[in-house]
């Protein structure tokens, strides 16, 4: 059994890291568990504890999906929260609308549903979770900081593959191991 999820890996550039560091610094007095920059990713589907047999099924499905989707780019921009301004839960980096990521995510969700993994209750909303909020003492200041970065351009991300990742929970934070990489097809070279 492995705790797994499907994701698009994001290699943060200087600009994204600058915004991330500034956000962390501005909110240093709040209780927020910040995601390590090397662990930043866009989750396509969280599976949880999964047997090796089911992982093999998922990999077979993902091999087929990868051949149906060309590589694309994403424009990362915007900083926001999940939850309400009264009870924020997550700080995230967002992206410009992208039909490519929507198509890929929907294909992943539909295809794994056929091998026994039901869709999540929420609709897919592509984002990078950068902070999990424990407690916010000064909600007004917190909202001012979020608003300061609200429409900030972060970076362009080339998406050439997606991954199946194992997440091992540790007291100091999650450790991620890549189970398998699924390269998207390059229609130009076919």
- Identify whether 127 is a catalytic site residue: yes
State the Cα–Cα distance between residues 66 and 53, nearest whole angstrom: 20
69 noted as active-site residue: no
CA-based angle 74:23:80, to the nearest 5?
Answer: 55
Task: Determine which one of 2, 9, 41, 45 is catalytic.
Answer: 41
Measure the CA–CA gap between 175 and 65, rounded to whole angstroms. 26
Catalytic, out of 2, 9, 54, 127: 127
Q: How do 41-50 and 153-159 pair as beta strands?
A: unpaired
By annotation, the residues acting in catalysis are 41, 127
């Amino acid at each position: 059994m492995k705790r797994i999820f499907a994701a698009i890996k994001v290699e943060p550039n200087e600009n994204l890291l600058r915004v991330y560091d500034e956000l962390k610094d501005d909110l240093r007095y709040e209780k927020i568990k910040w995601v390590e920059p090397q662990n930043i990713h866009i989750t396509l589907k969280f599976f949880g504890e999964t047997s090796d047999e089911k992982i093999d099924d998922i990999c077979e499905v993902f091999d087929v999906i990868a051949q149906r989707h060309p590589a694309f780019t994403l424009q990362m921009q915007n900083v926001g929260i999940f939850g309400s301004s009264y009870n924020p839960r997550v700080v995230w980096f967002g992206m410009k609308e992208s039909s490519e990521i929507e198509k890929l995510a929907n294909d992943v969700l539909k295809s794994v549903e056929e091998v026994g993994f039901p869709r999540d209750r929420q609709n897919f909303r592509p984002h990078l979770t950068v902070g999990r909020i424990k407690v916010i003492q000064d909600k007004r200041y917190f909202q001012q900081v979020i608003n300061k970065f609200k429409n900030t351009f972060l970076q362009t991300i080339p998406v050439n593959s997606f991954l199946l990742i194992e997440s091992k929970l540790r007291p100091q934070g999650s450790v991620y191991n890549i189970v398998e990489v699924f390269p998207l097809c390059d229609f130009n070279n076919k």
